[in-house]
Amino acid sequence: MSSLYSHLRLTADGRRELLAGLVARSSDTIDGRRPLLVFDLDGTLLDNRPRVVAILHELAQSWRESHPEAAAKVARARDEDIGYGLVDNLMRLGIEVPELHAAGQRFWFERFFIDEYLRHDTALAGAVEFARRCHEAGASIMYLTGRDLPKMAVGTLASLRDLGFPIGVVGTSLVTKPAFDIPDERFKREVARELDRVGPVLAVFDNEPGNCNALLEAHPACVSVLLDTQHAPNPPALHSGVVVIDTFEA
């Protein structure tokens, strides 16, 4: 996982103090309205590396006859081998042939962004408990994701439910992109302007520095938290007001 921001991460004690403070403030009201906590999903509450591994193992099966050596390498993929970018992952596994990169990219793309494969995602350590404690204390919970409505909403709802996150009950909502091809950061910047309709924004959590910056710019009084897991290459400079953690463990 990314270490670009490791020097900015809160200490374990600092992280515990931050999270406990947000749980405590989840019971506050502002002008009679409950506070809102906004969570991204992939790389923030959820670890999607198992989804990538499942797809790579299927890719290995499809290559068994045509590319047996490559298939054997891909079949050994584990969660800890997975970073950002499918081609980089293949190269990390020892696949260096450009034609196989292209074929693997197509195979992955056809599967990664659909409902069926979301069942492979797992929760980051402590994420379920933290979201539940905030919701039980009285805060509204919004899952604001770059996943799209047509192909991923149903699977996302099922995944959140099955993993134990508060969803489908009063005080929770899932907000997805209406179409796949909308850039994530542009989508979140637009949604950020509407968040006050739900409640005063207490905190936002995202694994992309640009999204953390955008949400903090829209809501300067909120706590903006970067999950230092993995993110897109060449991120913008992180706003000095963004807090960095890599887990929700208490």
Q: Is residue 106 part of a domain?
A: yes
Q: What is the pLDDT of residue 1?
A: 46
Residue 3 has what pLDDT?
A: 67
Give tens-digit pLDDT for 176-217: 999 999 999 999 999 999 999 999 999 999 999 999 999 999
In this predicted structure, the answer to whether residue 168 has a pLDDT above a threshold of 50 is yes
Strand (E) or helix (H) holding 161:
helix 149-163
Q: Which of 98, 118, 138 is the last residue of a domain?
A: 118
User: Whole domain around residue 106: which residue ranges?
Assistant: 49-118
Q: What is the count of structural domains for the chain?
A: 2
Phi, then psi, of 153 in degrees rounded to 5: -65, -45
Instruction: Assess whether 90 and 153 both reside in one domain.
Output: no
Whole-angstrom CA distances from 115 to 36, 56, 121, 248 are 27, 17, 11, 26
- Do 41 and 164 belong together in one domain? yes
In a shared domain, residues 167 and 102: no
Q: Return the amino acid letter for 4.
A: L
**Would you call 94 helix, strand, or coil by DSSP?**
coil
In a domain, 159, yes or no: yes
Q: H or E element: which one contains 249?
A: none
Q: Residue 218, SS3?
A: helix
10 within domain boundaries? yes
Q: In the predicted model, what is the mean pLDDT of residues 52-59? A: 98
Calpha distance 88→212 (Å, rounded): 25
Mean pLDDT of 134-157: 98
Rounded distance, CA 75 to CA 107, Å? 15
Contact 141, 166 (CB under 8 A): yes
Tell me the CATH number at 220. 3.40.50.1000
State the greatest distance between any 2 C-alpha atoms of the chain, in Å, as a whole number: 65
Residue at 250 is within a domain = no
User: Cα(56)–Cα(17) distance, rounded to whole angstroms?
Assistant: 39
CA–CA separation, 25 vs 204, rounded Å? 14
Q: Are residues 131 and 78 in the same domain?
A: no
- Least-confidence region, from 29-33, 48-52, 211-215, 238-242: 29-33
What is the rounded average pLDDT of the residues 32-42? 97
| DSSP string computed for 119-143 | GG-EEPTTHHHHHHHHHHHT-EEEE
Same domain, 126 and 181: yes
Domain boundary among 62, 94, 118: 118
Side-chain-side CA neighbours of residue 235 (13 Å): 22
The verdict on 21 and 76 lying in the same domain is no
Same-domain check for residues 145 and 231: yes
72 and 175 in one domain? no
Single-letter residue type at 224: S
Within a domain: 127 = yes
Cα dist from 116 to 107, 120, 156, whole Å: 14, 9, 10
Asked whether residue 105 falls in the same domain as residue 197, the answer is: no
Average pLDDT over all residues of the chain: 96
- Band (157; pLDDT cuts 50, 70, 90): very high
Same domain, 19 and 139: yes
Strand pairing report for 223-227 and 46-47: unpaired
Question: Which of the four pLDDT bands, split at 50, 70 and 90, describes residue 5?
Answer: very high
Is residue 17's pLDDT more than 80?
A: yes
- Residues 185, 102, single domain; the answer is no
Whether residue 1 lies inside any domain: the answer is no
| Structural domain includes residue 22 | yes
Residue 236, domain member (yes or no): yes
* pLDDT confidence bin for 18, thresholds 50/70/90: very high
Say yes or no: 40 and 71 in one domain: no
Task: Reply yes or no on whether the pLDDT at 30 is more than 90.
Answer: no
Among the candidates 97, 118, 139, a domain finishes at 118
